[in-house]
């Protein structure tokens, strides 16, 4: 490995800090991914980062979280069409994907750029590039997939046309970052199909915070200046949202996953 490709001590510290920060957002399946994407994009010099889960036996990528579209100058609607085409026609539509999946079968978690997988001339001649990829305004791309229980976690990083390709050090950084985070998915980090606290209205989130802090209905009513009836209705909404039947179950869900040690990132203090 060349000196430029090595992860330095400060890089390792940044990656471990990032994994810890993701844990702070871990009970929100979108928030922790958006934070991971933003920090990883900065470390790897990407304009846009997409984080997704792929489940076996299902066409396409189940859910996405993105970072960077607003500031990148790239076309997100064109990217969405690209994703839809890949889901509809399968990986064979994309010469880069064919090569990456072959490499992934040999080495889980490998991080590779388009230049590692397909020659520029072949890529630019492909129907995939001409009909879909070119419209996004993106060019350089890096993929990194890792196995997680019941599927795969994927990270895709892109740069606009005209910018240089990702380097060896960027590949190492992305691979290490994903290796730290992927094993926590479904544990300290919520999966996409888990309910998000952020999906609740602000007032109901305040009730959720009170419940997690151990308040009873009377305490919540006094703290939030709500009627007992309203508190009761909001508590029911919280229980239904998270699929629990009691405060004990709700608290156990957070304690078991190690969430909220530094206070929930989604919380709005009453």
pLDDT tens, residue by residue, 160-184? 999 999 999 999 999 999 999 999 9
Instruction: Tell me the C-alpha to C-alpha distance, in Å, between residue 60 and each of 49, 68, 91, 225, 233.
Output: 18, 22, 9, 46, 38
DSSP state of 65: E
- Burial class from Cβ neighbours inside 10 Å (0-12, 13-18, 19+) for residue 8 reads exposed
The CATH 3.30.450.80 domain(s) of the chain lie at 3-184
DSSP state of 214: T
In the Cβ-directed half-sphere of 120, how many Cα atoms lie within 13 Å? Answer: 5
Q: How confident is the model at residue 66 (pLDDT cuts 50, 70, 90)?
A: confident
Q: What whole-number distance in Å separates Cα of residue 173 and Cα of residue 259? A: 26
Q: What whole-number distance in Å separates Cα of residue 122 and Cα of residue 89? A: 19
Is pLDDT at 141 greater than 70 in this prediction? yes
Residue 12, pLDDT score = 85
Which token pair is 33? 């991914």
- Kindly give the residue spans of alpha helices, DSSP state H, lying in 151-263: 168-181, 202-212, 217-224, 228-242, 247-257
**Confidence (pTM):** 0.88
Contact 193, 143 (CB under 8 A): no
Per-residue pLDDT tens digits for 70-126: 999 999 999 999 988 888 888 889 999 999 999 999 999 999 999 999 999 999 999
Q: Is 60 helix (H, G, I), strand (E, B) or coil?
A: coil
Rounded average pLDDT over 25-29: 92
Protein fold of 3-184? Beta-Lactamase (3.30.450)
Residue 54, pLDDT score = 83
The CATH 1.10.10.10 domain(s) of the chain lie at 197-257
CATH no., domain 197-257: 1.10.10.10
> What is the CB neighbour count within 10 angstroms for residue 69?
16
Per-residue pLDDT tens digits for 224-244: 999 999 999 999 999 999 999
Is pLDDT at 262 greater than 80 in this prediction? no
């Amino acid at each position: 490995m060349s000196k430029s490709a090595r992860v330095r001590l400060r890089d390792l510290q940044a990656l471990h800090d990032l994994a810890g920060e993701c844990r702070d957002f871990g009970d929100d399946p979108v928030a922790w991914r958006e934070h991971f994407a933003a920090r990883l994009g900065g470390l790897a010099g990407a304009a846009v980062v997409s984080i997704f889960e792929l489940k076996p036996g299902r066409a396409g990528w189940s859910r996405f979280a993105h970072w960077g579209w607003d500031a990148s100058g790239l076309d997100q609607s064109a990217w969405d069409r690209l994703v839809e085409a890949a889901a509809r026609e399968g990986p064979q539509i994309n010469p880069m994907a064919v090569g990456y999946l072959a490499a992934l079968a040999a080495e889980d978690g490998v991080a590779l750029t388009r230049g590692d997988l397909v020659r520029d001339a072949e890529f630019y001649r492909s129907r995939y590039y001409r009909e879909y990829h070119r419209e996004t305004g993106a060019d350089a791309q890096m993929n990194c997939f890792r196995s997680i229980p019941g599927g795969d976690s994927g990270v895709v990083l892109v740069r606009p046309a005209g910018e240089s390709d990702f380097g060896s050090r960027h590949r190492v950084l992305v691979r290490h970052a994903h290796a730290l985070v992927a094993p926590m998915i479904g544990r300290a980090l919520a999966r996409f199909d888990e309910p998000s606290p952020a999906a609740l209205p602000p007032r109901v989130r305040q009730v959720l915070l009170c419940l997690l802090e151990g308040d009873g209905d009377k305490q919540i009513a006094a703290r939030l200046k709500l009627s007992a009836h309203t508190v009761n209705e909001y508590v029911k909404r919280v229980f239904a949202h998270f699929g629990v039947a009691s405060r004990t179950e709700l608290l156990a869900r957070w304690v078991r996953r190690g969430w909220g040690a530094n206070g929930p990132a989604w919380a709005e203090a009453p």
